[in-house]
Amino acid sequence: MLTSKGFEAAFSYWQLFLQGVVCTVSLSALTVVLGFILALLLAVCRMGRARLLRILAAAYVELFRATPMIVQVFIIYYVVFNGVKVLPGVKLFGFIRFDRFFPAVVALALNSGAYLSEIIRSGIQSVDGGQTEAARSLGLNAVQTMRFVVLPQAIKNILPAIANEFVTIIKESAICYTIGVQDIMSAVNAVKGATYRTGEALIIATVLYFCLTYPTSKIIEHFERKMRRGDIR
C-alpha cells in the first residue's frame, strides 16, 4: 500500500510533476482567455438582433453543454487536427509538445466558451432594465450604455461564477493526458509505469491540483469581497 519508500520513489520523478504543473497552468490560463473572448462573442450573438446568429449561438452552447468533454477533446484532436499530423512539432518551454497542447487548448476553450457565455448573458440580464432606459434617455448610445452602465454592474454580479469556471477548467483539463498532453495526470501515468507506485503518485497529483484550485478560488473571493465593499462604502 502507501509507504514512505513509495513516496520517495514517486518523488524522484519530481521534475515530471513540475512539468505537469507548468503544463496544467498554461493550459488552463490560455483556455480561460480564449474561452472568455469566445464567450463574449457568443453572448453578443445570442442577445443581438440577427435571428440567424441568435440561433447558431444558442445551438453551439447547447451542443457543447450536452456532450461529454472527452468526446469533444477526441473530436478536436483526432478529427479536426487529424491526430497531430497537421501541426508543427514545436516544444513550448522546451518540453510541452505543441501538437498535443494546441488541440487541447482549442477543445477546452470551445467547451468553456459555451459555459462562460451563459454566465455572461445571465450577468447582463441580471442588470435592471431601468438602467438601460435611464442611460438611453440621457442620450447615451447602445455601446456607451453597455460599456459604462450595464457591463460594470454585470461583471460584478458574475465574478464568482467566472472564478468557479476557472477552477473547473483546471480540474477538467486533467482529461487532456488522454491525447498525450504532459500535464499533471500524465506525470502520474509516467510514474505509475516506471515505479508501479500508483497510489503515491495519485496522492501527489491530488495535492498539486488542490494547491492550484484552492488559492485561485480564495484570491477571487478576496477581490469579490473588495468589490462588494465598494458597493456599500
For residue 141, which phi and psi values (nearest 5 degrees)?
Answer: -85, 180
Contact flag: residue 88 with another protein (CB under 8 A): no
Radius of gyration over alpha carbons of the chain, in Å? 21
Stretch that binds another protein, among 52-60, 76-84, 136-144, 183-191 (CB under 8 A): 136-144
Cβ distance to another protein smaller for residue 38 or 162? 162
Q: Check binding of 134 to another protein (CB under 8 A).
A: yes
Site for another protein in 5-44 (CB under 8 A): none
Q: Is 62 in the site for another protein (CB under 8 A)?
A: no
102-131: contacts with another protein (CB under 8 A): 128, 130-131
* SS3 call for 182: coil
Output the smallest distance, CB 49 to another protein, in A: 13
Q: Which of 1, 89, 139, 226 binds another protein (CB under 8 A)?
A: 139
Shortest distance (Å) from residue 51 CB to another protein: 18
CA distance 151 to 161: 15
Q: Rounded distance, CA 153 to CA 126, Å?
A: 9
Q: Per CB under 8 A, does 233 bind another protein? A: yes
Q: How far is the CB of 145 from another protein (least distance, A)?
A: 10
Contact 156, 227 (CB under 8 A): yes
Q: How far is CA 149 from CA 130, 146, 190, in A?
A: 11, 6, 52
Smaller CB distance to another protein: residue 48 or 152?
152
List the grid coordinates of 57. Answer: 449561438
Amino acid, res. 222:
H
97, containing H or E segment: strand 96-97
Q: Going residue by residue from 143 to 162, which x/- string records binding to another protein, judged by CB under 8 A? A: -x---xx--xx--x------
Q: Which is nearer to another protein, 12 or 131 (CB)?
A: 131
Find the binder of another protein among 8, 133, 206, 214 (CB under 8 A).
133
229 binds another protein (CB under 8 A): no
Residue 138 CB partners (closer than 8 Å, separation 6+): none
Reference 25, options 195, 202, 160, 209; nearest CA is 209
Choose among 123, 104, 115, 146: nearest CA to 35.
Answer: 115
Site of interaction with another protein (CB under 8 A): 128, 130-131, 133-141, 144, 148-149, 152-153, 156, 231-233
